[in-house]
Amino acid sequence: MKAVVYTKYGPPEVLHLKEVDKPIPKDNEILVKIVATAVNAADWRLRKADPAAVKLFFGLTRPKKSILGGVLAGIVESVGSEVMRFKAGDQVFGSTGMSLGAYAEYICLSEKGIIALKPQNLSYVEAATVPFGGHTAMHFLRKANIQNRQKILIYGASGAVGTAAIQLAKLYGAEVTGVCSTANIEMVKSLGADKVIDYTKEEIDGENYDVIFDTVGKIPYEAVKKTLKKKGTWILGAAGVTQMVQGYWSGMTRGYKIFSGLALEKEDDIKFLKDLIEKGKYKAVIDKCYPMEQLSVAHSYVEKGHKKGNVGVVIDEALETIYN
């Protein structure tokens, strides 16, 4: 089968198309024919080993796992003898977790993994873009115990996590202020944001927020001090070292609740997202789509940090075209 692999850390050019062995499912696994995947911030950071601590978990001198890709949508081709939840022909979507491997034509996944039947009203590429932002936003909003009528500021509101956080926070009944650039204002409003701040033209000021969700790790610390309520919640969704230090210092000195780290993915959550999508309460937001052969180009685009929502990758163009 074809897969996009990398054998060393570095720029997008380290990614290259290669023939590899097609996996064989174990008794408790399903074999999925991948139709689409997506490129997220986690992907380029793993490829680049940014931060360097990535190497402690994924290989000190070179990557232990040569195939990246943490999300997918596709068709179950075959199942192991003990599998009960899925059957051949099922259309599915979900996450691979730390196993990665979705930049390929096929993948084996445990039937107990973060996978569910694909929403009927989404194409494969749309479905593939949902899990990363959806799971991350849901995890942190629940950690923050977001409540009806609370005020939340979402910094980086136009990205994968930001677009998901707006929609989910509104479902929880929160009053949402999104922060983005001029080009993304209308899109952020269309997702339900009550107010939008253009960070290129104005400062974050004048409100007292119950929750600040920084999805990109770039909110100015002074803005947090000015606008986050005492004992409010600061979510460091993509924090660097400096912001982590500021965050935990603020937790001690200003009483903020600080949440950061990796989002935990649960089987029930992917089913919850599927249900919301099919009821028309949550939608996939896609900026661009690339063919499998241009995965390195997709990485370059995502790494620049200016995408609107998600960037999809079509692995099997024929099957994606059939859906549409």
Q: How far apart are CA 307 and CA 226, in angstroms?
A: 28
Bridge partners (DSSP) of residue 30 are: 79, 109
Q: What does the pLDDT average to over 139-145?
A: 95
Which of the pair, 2 or 203, is modelled with greater confidence? 2
Q: What does the pLDDT average to over 231-245?
A: 72
| Domain extents in the chain | 2-129+284-323, 133-260
CATH classification of 133-260, choosing from 3.40.50.720, 3.20.20.10, 3.40.50.2300, 3.40.50.300? 3.40.50.720
Q: What does the pLDDT average to over 257-278?
A: 90
Mean confidence (pLDDT) of the chain: 92
Does 130 have pLDDT greater than 70?
yes
Does 253 have pLDDT greater than 80?
no
Q: How far apart are CA 248 and CA 259, in angstroms?
A: 9
For the stretch 163-203, pLDDT in tens is 999 999 999 999 999 999 999 999 999 999 999 999 999 98
| Percent of the chain whose pLDDT exceeds 70 | 94
Per-residue pLDDT band for 252 (boundaries 50, 70, 90) equals low
Would you state the pLDDT for residue 286? 97
Would you state the pLDDT for residue 318? 80
Per-residue pLDDT band for 244 (boundaries 50, 70, 90) equals low
Would you state the pLDDT for residue 14? 98
Per-residue pLDDT band for 255 (boundaries 50, 70, 90) equals confident
Does 133 have pLDDT greater than 80?
yes
**Max alpha carbon distance in the chain (Å)?**
60
* Residue closest to 158 by CA, chosen among 307, 277, 311, 284: 307
Q: How far apart are CA 322 and CA 169, in angstroms?
A: 34
N- to C-terminal Cα separation, the chain:
24
For the stretch 62-79, pLDDT in tens is 999 999 999 999 999 999
For the stretch 292-304, pLDDT in tens is 999 999 999 999 9
Q: What does the pLDDT average to over 275-286?
A: 96
Would you state the pLDDT for residue 248? 63
Does 81 have pLDDT greater than 90?
yes
Architecture of the 2-129+284-323 domain: Alpha-Beta Complex (3.90)
Q: What does the pLDDT average to over 97-109?
A: 96
Q: What does the pLDDT average to over 110-135?
A: 96
Which of the pair, 191 or 246, is modelled with greater confidence? 191
* Six token digits for residue 260: 């950061």
Would you state the pLDDT for residue 57? 86
Would you state the pLDDT for residue 2? 98
Other C-beta atoms within 10 Å of 73: how many? 33
Would you state the pLDDT for residue 306? 87
Instruction: Give the CA-trace dihedral at 99, 104, 110, 113, to 10 degrees.
Output: 70
Per-residue pLDDT band for 246 (boundaries 50, 70, 90) equals low
Q: What does the pLDDT average to over 109-117?
A: 96
Would you state the pLDDT for residue 52? 85
Would you state the pLDDT for residue 151? 97
Q: Is the dihedral of CA 142, 71, 98, 133 positive or negative?
A: negative
